[in-house]
Amino acid sequence: MSLPPLVEPAAELTVDEVRRYSRHLIIPDVGMAGQKRLKNAKVLCVGAGGLGSPALLYLAAAGVGTLGIIDFDVVDESNLQRQVIHGQSDVGRPKAESAANSVREINPLIEVVVHNTVLTTENVMEIFSGYDLIVDGTDNFATRYMVNDAAVLLGKPYVWGSIYRFDGQASVFWAEHGPCYRCLYPEPPPPGMVPSCAEGGVLGVLCASVGSIQVNEAIKLLTGIGDPLVGRLMIYDALEMKYRDVKVRKDPECVLCGKNPTVTELLEDYEAFCGAVSEEAAEAASGSTITALELKAMQDNGENIFLVDVREPNEYEIVSIPGATLIPKGEFLNGSALERLPQDKKIVLHCKSGARSAEALAVVKNAGFADAVHVGGGVLSWVKTVDPSLPSY
Ligand code: ZN
């Protein structure tokens, strides 16, 4: 499958541009025409994080004329293991601004547009409409579905990538020519089922492997060369060092891009659609959530509590709350944790940020521990409010 170029060529390249892009210009498939198309191209990168870092660096170096960067977050020390667009001195700065700095240093001949804001249903259509193509480097399902829906509604291609531990995936979703993200994943996964990189970790260099696939595909679409990753899902296994691709068909029943779409505008609330925690967990946590400071006070007062850390052993090793017993969430879901809970103590659960402990809390309450509670914000909140000398992750 080949597709026509996404953008028209710019009128000309300057002498500086010819010098800079000479290694592109002497590739027959790219040539002057291809480089002029890149110059005329407007690409938006959603997220200046793990995938956005390599993507932005290479899109800039390649000479994409207008490069948009949207991110609301600030650079954290734990980002530097993989988000190579940011440096030590950028810690605490807005990611969008830090990324823009790096990009301008790599290529002063391109225009950089900084969107230092949260992408929302209010602004996504307007922001996207200024670009030819979207590169998706988001790390959560709510944003991902919103990016997909906006791209489909605006008829724009978007290059998607996803990373977790040693596994990467990438594809090009473009409803005009193939499937959209909803054709592949009609429903978001149940809350709590798919751990994020913040929960499960990611090998830093995996970002480069997947981000470079995304840039590769963006350049092909913009210039109309090669066989784009439309209708194919690229799956990369860094441990086996294997790439394979599987066909993804457009789903004629897709609620968004199928024959009889029922989703014809953006959803009102993507967070609710994807559910940060399940309904059961939200119900269990309502009225049964304490703060880290309240937990500290309970401990200091010698209250009769049994504190359970529901994270994984390697997380417990990084940082833990004094006195906590480790029983991973999975043991609550399969029921085996229950016999380890004392009947004569108040059960207090915690995890990293409060989502997993809410899931476990639902199980514990169902088993009859009516006064059980969990710590909102988890160990991260403990580090922040009770003992900042402990490491965060
Ligand atoms: Zn679809």
**DSSP assignment of 10-66, as one string?**
PS---HHHHHHTHHHHTSTTTHHHHHHHHHH-EEEEE-SSTTHHHHHHHHHHHT-SE
pLDDT per residue as tens digits for the range 141-158: 999 999 999 999 999 999
Q: How many A from CA of 185 to the centre of ligand 1?
A: 9
Which pLDDT score is estimated for 214?
98
Q: How many A from CA of 259 to the centre of ligand 1?
A: 10
| Residue % of the chain over a pLDDT of 70 | 99
Q: What residues sit around ligand 1, an ion, with C-beta below 5 angstroms?
A: 180, 182-183, 254, 256-257
Q: How many A from CA of 263 to the centre of ligand 1?
A: 10
Selection from 366, 173, 361, 375 nearest residue 294 by Cα: 375
Q: How many A from CA of 159 to the centre of ligand 1?
A: 14
Plot region of 119 (φ>0 → left; ψ -120 to 50 → alpha; else → beta): beta
**pLDDT score of 110 more than 80:** yes
Residue 81 parent element (H or E): none
**pLDDT score of 233 more than 90:** yes
Per-domain residue ranges for the chain? 15-274, 279-385
Which pLDDT score is estimated for 121?
96
Selection from 347, 381, 190, 342 nearest residue 280 by Cα: 190
The sheet that has 111-115: what strands, in order across it? 111-115, 66-70, 42-46, 133-136, 158-164, 167-173, 232-237, 242-247
Which pLDDT score is estimated for 52?
98
pLDDT per residue as tens digits for the range 296-340: 999 999 999 999 999 988 889 889 999 999 999 999 999 999 999
Q: CATH homologous superfamily of domain 279-385?
A: Rhodanese-like domain (3.40.250.10)
Is 180 among the residues known to form the active site?
Answer: no
Out of 197, 207, 254, 257, pick the active-site residue. 197
Q: How many A from CA of 255 to the centre of ligand 1?
A: 7
Which pLDDT score is estimated for 184?
92
DSSP string, 180-200: -HHHH-SSPPPTTTS--HHHH
Q: Using only C-alpha atoms, what is the Rg of the chain?
A: 24
Helix (H, G, I), strand (E, B) or coil at 373: strand
Is 351 among the residues known to form the active site?
Answer: yes
Cβ-contact 169, 143 below 8 angstroms = no
- Segment 169-188 mean pLDDT: 94
- Mean pLDDT, all residues of the chain: 94
Q: Which fold has domain 15-274?
A: Rossmann fold (3.40.50)
Q: How many A from CA of 207 to the centre of ligand 1?
A: 26
Q: How many A from CA of 187 to the centre of ligand 1?
A: 11
Using CA atoms, how far apart are residues 342 and 260, in angstroms rounded to an integer?
55
Q: How many A from CA of 87 to the centre of ligand 1?
A: 38
**Strand 373-375 vs strand 346-350: parallel, antiparallel, or unpaired?**
parallel
**Residue 368 backbone dihedrals phi, psi, to 5 degrees:** 105, 0
Q: How many A from CA of 130 to the centre of ligand 1?
A: 23
Distance of CA 40 to the CA centre of its chain: 28
Using CA atoms, how far apart are residues 233 and 248, in angstroms rounded to an integer?
6
Q: How many A from CA of 142 to the centre of ligand 1?
A: 16
pLDDT per residue as tens digits for the range 9-27: 999 999 999 999 999 999 9
| Residue % of the chain over a pLDDT of 90 | 86
Out of 45, 257, 274, 351, pick the active-site residue. 351
SS3 content of the chain, % helix, strand, coil (to 5): 40, 15, 45
pLDDT per residue as tens digits for the range 44-102: 999 999 999 999 999 999 999 999 999 999 999 999 999 999 999 999 999 999 999 99
- Segment 132-140 mean pLDDT: 94
3-state secondary structure 281-315: HHHHHCCCEECHHHHHHHHHCCCCEEEEECCCHHH
Q: How many A from CA of 155 to the centre of ligand 1?
A: 12
